[in-house]
Chain A
């Protein structure tokens, strides 16, 4: 079965080139001394320097990190609860509606999610700011956490939990001391996913944030609309490098998230 391996190698090469070439070019041109995109004006780190002098950008980056940290935490707690309910509570009443609501946000167009949450906050007369973005992101994030953790929980051998109960543990105790530790990698992956989703999001944040809670993607977006600048390349490269670092660390630890589960 080695004959068609040339075709398969070509498919891999083409596919990954398509995925990575734009990102690589972006990173490359962040070190371009020239302001023009197509002209290589020599190696320079001037855009990184000007980046760190841009206080607005720094402030919104800090805002994004805080939002992501808190919303991912909320998403992980509530999402893990949802995953446990889906896996361990049998056929409870309303299970279908429950799991439908878990899966729907994964594909729901962001403009709808953003608009509906904004209208909720307006209706409840809640001033928009840090916490409204956190809640919006946690809502999206919990669904991803639930799906990732659920996928792990259903592969866990039920008899491990039963063994714990047989040895005198209450169901709750068995869950805490056997199941959750075994599902820990997926819970961690879920947290990472929720964090990335939050830090990545433009649309929902645009709807639900208020003055003074501008996130990094919102700032980048408003700059991009004004045209391509090497400064954006620089901050993009930093973000990509951070993600790459986390991924490599995760791989080294043997914890790999699975993205949107198929």
Chain B
């Protein structure tokens, strides 16, 4: 097949290639380029220092590249804190998502065969409803005068309302809730495809149900755990909607910082620099994720 391709084949391969290069690869190059520009009060709000339309001239002006946006990032503690806090909150949220998802995925995978497709649809269905709406639903629940406090107060379990809303805790709850399906599905797949004889073999060889779970089921689901965690962790780092709606004014997350730089401060070079550094942070987990996905797809 590799020798000569027909016109139709070239079209089938060429269309997605071209699309991805124009709308995925080149935009990143532009982000990098603008991150190396000076901010300006203009439209667009930056001074291009390096323009390919200048031809060879441009090369002579390479020395003019400005690192001021990156210097700004390094100077202001707030950025470092935002990156750190994003990593921290994404990490904590991933752990909690795993803790909630594993028992659910396990129970789904061990349910009677005829029920499993229905359970899978039920677990994925919330993903099909609006992300924004699902986050919004938690505002109503977590607010100081919200449903959770209302219920707990009237049950007499607490005397003071809990201040969960507008805090890091609310952000974690929001991430766990919104990303749960992404964790459940890979876990479910990894557990459901284990042959049931393996557990029987472990029991036959003297393992109690708990020992069989820890020594056979859990290690064999490792690929699912990795895929699920990456599927939650990576997008959670750059999350904007959840920290914006559920977090407090002191909740620092880098996606929100980028948004503010861009829309409120109109500092495009700074926003681009934030994006470039964020992408740098994500390179390793994304490479890990891609490897696991491709291994899975080609298996």
Contact = CB atoms under 8 A, between A and B. Distances in A.
Q: Quick check: do A and B touch in the complex, using CB within 8 A?
A: yes
B126 interface: yes
Interface in A1-39: 1, 3-4, 7-9, 11-12, 14-16, 18-20, 22-23, 25-26, 29, 37-38
Nearest to A107: B234
Contacts of B107: 7-9, 11-12, 15
Contacts of A199: 130
B27, B289, B296 — most chain A CB neighbours (10 Å): B27
Contacts of B199: 1
Contact of B224 (A77, A136, A221, A262): A262
B214 interface: no
Contact of A12 (B23, B28, B119, B238): B119
Interface string B173-216: 00001001110111111100000000100000000010000000
A38 B152 CA distance: 12
Interface stretch (B11-19, B54-62, B65-73, B74-82): B11-19
A109 interface: yes
Interface string B213-248: 000000000001001101100110111110001000
A102 B241 CA distance: 24
A240 B30 contact: no
Tell me the interface secondary structure of chain A in the complex. Answer: helix
B121 A84 contact: no
B117, B128, B181, B230 — most chain A CB neighbours (10 Å): B128
Contacts of B259: 111, 203
Contact of B185 (A25, A108, A112, A262): A262
Contact of A224 (B131, B139, B143): B139
Nearest to A262: B186
A116 B27 contact: yes
B245 to A, nearest CB: 6
A262 B129 contact: no
Interface string B246-271: 00000000010011001100001001
B92 interface: no
Contact of B290 (A18, A100, A221, A260): A100
Given A115-B272, A120-B27, A123-B30, A217 B130 contact: yes
Contact of A228 (B124, B140, B272, B297): B140
A246 to B, nearest CB: 8
Tell me the interface secondary structure of chain B in the complex. Answer: helix
B111 interface: yes
Interface stretch (A42-50, A52-60, A86-94, A159-167): A86-94
Contact of A8 (B106, B190, B245, B279): B106
Given A9-B107, A92-B2, A202 B241 contact: yes
A37 B143 contact: yes
A232 B188 CA distance: 34
B40 interface: no
B1 interface: yes
A81 B12 contact: yes
Contacts of B240: 110-111, 203
A115 to B, nearest CB: 5
A179 interface: no
Given A107-B234, A107-B286, A202-B132, A12 B108 contact: yes
Contact of B104 (A11, A88, A122, A225): A11
15 contacts: A1-B199, A7-B107, A8-B106, A8-B110, A14-B104, A22-B134, A78-B15, A116-B27, A119-B268, A221-B132, A224-B132, A233-B140, A236-B130, A240-B130, A256-B117
Lowest 3 A-B CB distances belong to which pairs? A109-B238, A262-B186, A15-B104
Given A120-B27, A262-B296, 5 more contacts: A12-B107, A107-B234, A111-B255, A112-B275, A228-B143
